[in-house]
Structure 1
Amino acid sequence: MTLCFEQGPIRPPSEAASLLLRLTRNCTWNKCVFCPTYKGQTFSRRSLGEIKKDIDTVKEMIRLIREYSLDNGFSGAINRKVLEYFYTGGNYNMFHVAMWLHDGAKTVFFQDANSLIMKTADLIEILKYLKEQLPTVERVTSYARSDTLLRKSVDELAQLGQAGLSRIHVGMESGSDEVLKFMDKGVTSQQHVDAGKRVKEAGISLCEYVLLGLGGEQWSQEHALSTAQALNAINPDFIRFRSLAVTEEMPLYQKVLSGEFKVQDDAGVTLGQKMFIERLEGIQSSVISDHSLNLLEEVKGKLPEDKPAMLGVLDRFLELPPKEKQIFILGKRLGMFHRLSDLHDTEQYRQVEQMFNRLDEGQYAEVIAYLKGQLIC
């Protein structure tokens, strides 16, 4: 019989090396107009028995993977030969576990979008069972909605932290009530702030996500300033940038077609990002830009000391001549540029410029929108 366990569709990029365990299916809210991920899917909780069985399956997979390594003279090590064997074996779960072992088998991510909706006692039982069966685990993280976090007391969250929950990822997206309402996020800015403070008080690491461009042309300044204000009140451990790209699968697409929402171009989004970072004050968060959809992935650092450097990157882009801006944007969306300094790579620049020169204004906009849409995950 083929061993397998259930996994959901997404995880944060920062959890690329983590074992993915599915505690719940889909999203409890599932109404955000900018998110296509779980549309048409019904939320459900998995039982403790199902989850424990998956942990047992992972444990058995580890035994079999180690056994294969020993039998083939690799002394239990998970090297390239072992990974190749399980990659070509056709069992994605086995390969995922082999990769996890290769990366140290230290981190676990609880899927899907809002696993903290489960009862605190059940989550504690899962965390304890996980640590008992997979003792190499050092860090466990999960997504959570702010309104869900507010259903748990500081003491409950602290108990989860003591049981092994290390970090909570929260999609703040915006601190603007206008933007949150338009996007049907289902929470207010104050709820975001209260939930974030509660996680911090409980001693759990907190990562807040900001969705660049979510204010569109209408609320660009409001989005930047209100989001900075909310995060200043929370002082999360991490602030992570994501970028808006609108595709046909999103309810937001219809609002774009009707003219209710006007998508910002990359230069406008960058100006808003600058306003946002300028207003971050009195916090010690790490700012991270770890998604390929972000135009300027080099905008990252530790606050407050790296704030001037982050603003410097944004200013360098904003000060580029119009054509240079467009060439950099095209090169970044094609995956040929990664940093502003790549504009000085003569050969790469020549190739991107040739493609740029073949596009008229309308074609350029269509190509950029298409390329951005391919990077959504």
Structure 2
Amino acid sequence: MSTTTIDRYRFETGIYRPPSEGGSASLLLRYTRNCPWNHCTFCSMYKTEKFQLRPVADIKSDIDAMAAVVDDLKAISMDIGQNGTITRDAAVSLIGKVPALNYHEGFAMLFHWLLSGARNAFLQDANSLIMKTGDLVDALHYLRSTFPSINRVTTYARSRTLVQKSPEELTAIRKAGLDRLHLGLETGDNELLKKIKKGVTAKGHIKGGKKAMVAGFQVSEYWMPGLGGREMTGVHAAHTARVLNEINPDYIRSRPFRTIPGTPLHAQVNRGEVQMLRPHEQLLELKNMIGALDVTSRVCFDHAMNNWRHPRSGLLFTHDYEGYKFPEEKQKVLELIEAGLNAGNPVSGAG
């Protein structure tokens, strides 16, 4: 095996994925490149890149390259007396034969995914659902048939794209093996959605989220505490709760707002046009939103920016990906918020 065989292992891997799809938890496959919308004023992702639909043949080629890595690791494992088990010894041996793997952007990701059990996959980049339905279904079938150990496939999606897909298309995609959608709700307030150039209304969020639920997807909706600043904190909390109540998604995930240099919203904050909430104020907003929820969702604080502190026991909320089950644990979450508010200096990196 010569160093030229690196071509056998070439596949693309993107950068971004949700917290629950990180580390060794998911195989990262790039079905599209970058973001087809790319106008959100709070976001710095993909801003220097153009969106591209990848040909299905290229996606399948990537999957084949990943499978080649798996096959060769198993073959080496057999040769060194480890019965075909994926091991560090097998990986070191393969890298020794193909040194260019040291610089492969996805080899370590793939190897650790295999060690973790090869169960979950995440389709990158920002909105793979925008692919033609037939192409996405084809690529999903190919992924599932190549790696039958996968039991969950997830991706980012936009509410607007869900609205544009027919119920039949969404059902076909779900049946082809896409299980969970991560949706950036951000807020349920129409004025704030317009200000941040989200490209969707509250009605669109509701329609898209409901269509996804009816089609059988697990739906994770992300909202951003503090996004509206002091001026809009009340309507942001109230209208976000209203939209989430309408959708009643499987997961509601908190992703506290922080400004990112280079974004339009960061410039607005610097000019004094948006007054950022302090940690204590963010908790008050969170209290108002949570208090208004009437859902059967799991409410999660798994993003690193949820770093409010409990006065006695470290982080205020668990960062577990399954969070708190509502309505059963709603009171518990509200009590935790009160504990944070009573701490005097709850601390959060979001402000």
Considering the TM-score relative to the shorter chain, is it more than 0.5?
Answer: yes
Residue 18 of structure 2 corresponds to 12
Residue 319 of structure 1 corresponds to 342
Aligned AA (2:173): L
Secondary structure of 1:27's counterpart equals: coil
Counterpart-to-counterpart distance in 2, 1:165 and 1:242:
24
Aligned length: 327
Unaligned 5+ runs, structure 1: 334-367, 370-377
Of 139, 148, 156, the residue aligned with 2:161 is 148
Of 216, 225, 228, the residue aligned with 2:229 is 216
Measured after TM superposition, the shift of residue 284 of structure 1 is 0.8
- Whether contact under 8 Å (1:239, 1:286) holds in the other structure is yes
Secondary structure of 1:165's counterpart equals: coil
Residue 42 of structure 2 corresponds to 34
Tell me whether 142-151 or 69-78 shows the greater mean CA deviation: 69-78
2:267 pairs with 1:254: yes
2:301 pairs with 1:293: no
Residue 305 of structure 1 corresponds to 328
- Whether contact under 8 Å (1:107, 1:138) holds in the other structure is yes
Secondary structure of 1:252's counterpart equals: helix
Residue 170 of structure 2 corresponds to 157
Secondary structure of 1:170's counterpart equals: strand
Secondary structure of 2:138's counterpart equals: helix
Q: 1:74 to 1:244 in 2, by over 3 A?
A: same
TM-score (norm 2): 0.89
Q: Percent identity?
A: 40
2:106 pairs with 1:93: yes
Counterpart-to-counterpart distance in 2, 1:221 and 1:249:
27
Give runs of aligned pairs for residues 25-174 of structure 1, distance below 5 A.
25-82=33-90, 89-174=102-187
Secondary structure of 1:41's counterpart equals: coil
Q: 1:86 to 1:217 in 2, by over 3 A?
A: farther
Measured after TM superposition, the shift of residue 82 of structure 1 is 4.8
Measured after TM superposition, the shift of residue 294 of structure 1 is 1.2
Counterpart-to-counterpart distance in 2, 1:170 and 1:204:
12
Secondary structure of 1:150's counterpart equals: helix
Measured after TM superposition, the shift of residue 89 of structure 1 is 3.4
* CA-to-aligned-CA distance 1:178-209 (integer Å, 9 cap, x gap): 11111111100110000000011111111100
Residue 277 of structure 2 corresponds to 264
Residue 23 of structure 1 corresponds to 31
TM-score (norm 1): 0.83
- Whether contact under 8 Å (1:83, 1:95) holds in the other structure is no
- Whether contact under 8 Å (1:235, 1:284) holds in the other structure is yes
- Whether contact under 8 Å (2:73, 2:91) holds in the other structure is no
| Higher RCO (C-alpha under 8 Å, 6+ residues apart) | 2
Give runs of aligned pairs for residues 358-377 of structure 1, distance below 5 A.
none
- Whether contact under 8 Å (1:4, 1:94) holds in the other structure is no
Counterpart-to-counterpart distance in 2, 1:149 and 1:232:
18
2:249 pairs with 1:236: yes
Secondary structure of 1:135's counterpart equals: coil
Measured after TM superposition, the shift of residue 263 of structure 1 is 1.1
- Whether contact under 8 Å (1:146, 1:195) holds in the other structure is yes
Measured after TM superposition, the shift of residue 267 of structure 1 is 1.0
- Whether contact under 8 Å (1:114, 1:142) holds in the other structure is yes
Counterpart-to-counterpart distance in 2, 1:244 and 1:173:
9
Measured after TM superposition, the shift of residue 24 of structure 1 is 0.9
Counterpart-to-counterpart distance in 2, 1:39 and 1:102:
34
- Whether contact under 8 Å (2:259, 2:266) holds in the other structure is yes
Measured after TM superposition, the shift of residue 84 of structure 1 is 6.5
- Whether contact under 8 Å (1:6, 1:21) holds in the other structure is yes
Unaligned 5+ runs, structure 2: 96-100, 309-314
Aligned AA (2:255): R
Q: 1:83 to 1:269 in 2, by over 3 A?
A: farther
Residue 240 of structure 2 corresponds to 227
Q: Report the aligned-residue RMSD.
A: 1.8
Counterpart-to-counterpart distance in 2, 1:84 and 1:234:
48
Q: 1:239 to 1:83 in 2, by over 3 A?
A: farther
